[in-house]
Structure formats: structure tokens, C-alpha cells
A and B are shown apart, each in its own frame.
Chain A
């Protein structure tokens, strides 16, 4: 038997196997279909073969990054969770996945990446803490920009700004979508009978972050929590298919600063400050020596002392 396929995805937290919607979908599908994947849980998208996460390294088709393509590829490898579905159920899967993408996903993007309270306190905080230095300064902001751009294009409104009006519109659609899903699920364990299919993977991927991540402004969360069967559905999947994640929930206190400035949330703040101060000092000193503002002459120790005195003065001004 050939070596298992390699899957790269965002690492988990809050008791989730991964923090990203697409990664969760793929991971859940792989579990449902019993595909033996070698999973690399990383926090640096630049280490993935496609530069984005999730990514599946395949032998025939190179690396895939869209969840739908990854699922199709796994299906071709005979890891098919939809094998028992009738043609009509297959059609329903397609329809409900569209419903998720059109109605719920924009609101999820909004709540995780655009809502300023959630973004500053939780999303950016998590990514900045987990992405390795120095990318942690660059990537969270870039991802924020990409998500906002995506939301604008999907809504067809190039001037979309975070605000009450757009939030109300998005959440209205999303709440309706959650209610519809809850009605469709009813009292069943999974959407189609007793075994999970790709639709269950998509729904789980979209709902689990909402259920587990503690967000300061959580209108969507409240609504999801009021729908018992959907909440139960996610918990079930977590317990049955990702038993190792539930155990090691880090008892991390959520850092919810509302008073401090944005910079308070940056990790390794003190270390980075010292590093940048040292770097600036080194650069100034180097420039001073190169251009001859400071000259080091061993023969006249007094003169050198005078120059060094000037140099120190300059640094004090800069700081």
C-alpha cells in the first residue's frame, strides 16, 4: 500500500481539531470516509505546498487546496462517505451546501474577520499568537483584508464597510439558514440516516467554530445555542470522531481587553520592543560610523569620548 496522502491544515484550539472552516470540513470528511491521511497541523500557511490551508498533496494532480476538490479527490481514491446516498439525497447535498455557502458563510466571515470587536479580541489575537515570527505581523492583517474583499465581492457592494446595516442583513440570512438546517436535521443523528456524509462534514465545518470559539459579540452563537439539535449534532461529531481534541482543551483565559489599545494584544510585546530598539540603535551607530560622524581613533582617546557623547544624545532624541 502506498504512503498515506498528506494533508496540511490550520492547527486547532478551543477544543476544535482546526480553527479554520475549510480545514474542519476536510478533516471531518476524511474521518467520515475513513481516509488514512497524514495530517500536518501547522500555523504557517507558507509551509503548505499551495501557500494556503488546507492543502492535500496528491501524486497525480499536484496539490489541491479547495475543500470541494479535496473531497472529490478522496472520493476517487475510494474513500467515499456518500456511497449509500440515493440520487435525490446527492441532489439535496448539493443544494444544502449551496445554502451554507450563500447564506451562512458571508455572516461567518463577517463575525470572525470583520466585526471589529471579535476580530481584534479573538481572531487576530489567535493568529498573531500562533503564526511564527515575523509572519505574525504580516499575515493576520493580510487575511483580514482578503476576507473583507471577499465579502465585498460576494455581496456585490464595493463600498461595504462594517456597520449595523450590513450586519443586520447578513445575520438575518444566517439566522434563517441555521433555522432551516435545524428543521431539516430534525431529530436525526445525521442529515441522511445513521452514517455521516459530505453534507454533515460541510455543516460541521461551518457550525463548529461558531459553537466553540468564545466571541465577545456573538449574536450568531446565541441563535445556534438555542437550536438544540444542531448543537447536539456538532458535539456528537466532536466526541465520536475527534475524541482527542476534547480532552486537552487548554484552560486559557480569554483575554478580553476592551480598554487597552490594539497593541496590547500583540504577543511577545516586550521582546519585540527590545529587539527593534536594538536594531534601530545598531543601524544608527553603523550609519554614524560609515559616514564619518563618529570616528574611532585609538590614538586620541579624549576625542573619541566626545564623539560617543554626541552619539548617545542622538539616540535619546530618537527614543
Chain B
């Protein structure tokens, strides 16, 4: 897209208010979605709730193929389709909804850096455990990922995905790591997040930002998803301030709205509760 066209689109985006029928698409919640996608989806939902923007969650078996970037989740707002948290944050900003306006330059730099830390270590670790640990891949990831399809397509798609992720791991230098080293990295990442959070309610004091949404999405999903063993969740449980942080966001942004008795499709879709 040319610069002029892009500027035009963002102008249009800014002019239109947030519609009532905005929709978020993700893979099937019960049978298909995997830990990493579920975490990313929850992060986007948390972000939109923090902004006070209503969105309906729809589960589609082919969400991955509907997405413009091939990654889930994506949102459909008006006549635009945007995938992943980063672009969605930019899009809402163009519409005048932003959580990070109150930060100064250094804080904004730190916020972006910590968001990349979560993507670089936590998300990569989730992908590693899903697809490179043979037990998890055979018992959980491959059957769930390919559940909507019949034989032999399910086998082909699942192995294709696994092959792709494994090559990605070797490109980022994770292929040689053992499972134990990956858990160690997760601990290191949580340690850093826990240090940064300290005793504050949110990462940058009183107001939540997109970083809070991202961390919540990943940590909450890891804590509430059952894998072949509990090692991953146990690593996170060592950091009590992160647990309290997750409960706080869950209570302030997800519980109240459920009580309002909204319609079925916009019902909170994060699954089991922490409390």
C-alpha cells in the first residue's frame, strides 16, 4: 500500500467511531485452540476491554486462514480486518483510544521493550513446548490443531505446522535447547516481569497499558491451561505478585462485565477462572 493510501485509510479509521458489531475471531475454543493462540487472543480481548471497546468473540475452525497475516486472533471492525496485538493497538490509537498516552518517552520505550520480552521469550517458549516437546506435540498440539479436519488432511496440516515451527526455532537459535533450559528461560522472563512490576498494581502504576494486557493474556492462559505436566505453570506460580496482578485484571475487567448479563456471543471467553 502506498503512503498516500495508508494515510487515507488511517484518516478514515480515525473518522469513524468504534462500531457496536466489532468482532474478534479465534480458533475453536473447546477443541482446537492452542496455548499460544489462546494467550494472544486473551491479550487482545483484555486490551480492548481496558480501552472500553466492545467486541464479540467468534470461534471459527479456519480462523488462521481467514487472518490477513496468517496469525490469530484478528478483529473485524467496520470494513477493516487487523490481526495481532501490535497493529490492533495502532488501529485503536488512530481511533483515539490509547492506554499509553500518559507515559513519558522513557516509560514508553520500556513498555515496548517489555512487550518484546514477552514475545521473544514467553511466546517462543509456549511454541517450543507445544511443538518441539514430543509428548506435548503428540498428545495435545497435533490432535487439537487438526481436530476440524478429517484424515489424511489432519495429519498433513499438523505435521506441516510442526515442521514450520521447528524450523523457526532453529532460526532463532532455540533448536538446541532442552526442555529444562526452556523452563529456565520462562523463569528468567517471569523474574524480570516480577521485578519490573514490584508492588505496583500495574506495570506503569495506576493505569493499565497494552503491556499489562499482553502479560495478563500469557500468564493467565499458562496458569489455566492443562498440559502434559504442570511444570510451566509451577514456574510462574513462584512469583506471587504476578499471580495477584492476574487476579486484579480478571476481577476489574472480566468479572463485572459478566454480571451485566450480556448476550451469549460476547460472553467472556477466557475459560476457567483463577479464583
Contacts and interface: CB of A to CB of B under 8 A. Distances in A.
Nearest to A179: B109
A149 interface: yes
Contacts of B243: none
A154 B113 contact: no
A86 B70 CA distance: 40
B110 A156 contact: no
A158 B112 CA distance: 27
Contacts of A141: none
Contacts of A103: 116
A184 B104 CA distance: 10
A154 B114 CA distance: 19
Q: Interface residues of A: mostly helix, strand, loop or mixed?
A: helix
A190 interface: no
Nearest to B173: A66
Interface string A70-109: 0000000000000000011011101110110111000000
A183 B195 contact: no
A67 to B, nearest CB: 9
A216 interface: no
B113 A183 contact: no
A150 interface: yes
B168 interface: yes
B113 A88 contact: no
Contacts of B120: 98, 101-102
A149 B171 CA distance: 8
Q: Interface residues of B: mostly helix, strand, loop or mixed?
A: helix
Interface residues of A, number: 29
Contacts of B69: 156
A95 B116 contact: yes
Contacts of A157: 70
The residue among A94, A95, A102, A177 with the most chain B CB atoms within 10 A of its own CB is A95
B117 interface: yes
Interface in B192-230: 192-193, 195-196, 198
Interface of B: 1, 69-71, 105-106, 108-110, 112-114, 116-117, 119-121, 164, 167-168, 171-173, 188-189, 191-193, 195-196, 198
Given A91-B191, A102-B119, A180-B112, 8 more contacts: A91-B192, A91-B195, A92-B113, A94-B189, A99-B112, A102-B116, A156-B70, A183-B106
22 contacts: A88-B195, A90-B192, A94-B192, A95-B110, A96-B113, A98-B116, A99-B112, A99-B113, A99-B116, A102-B119, A103-B116, A150-B171, A153-B164, A153-B168, A156-B69, A156-B71, A158-B164, A177-B112, A180-B108, A180-B109, A183-B105, A183-B106
**9 closest A-B pairs by CB:** A91-B192, A98-B120, A180-B109, A95-B113, A153-B171, A183-B105, A98-B117, A95-B117, A99-B113
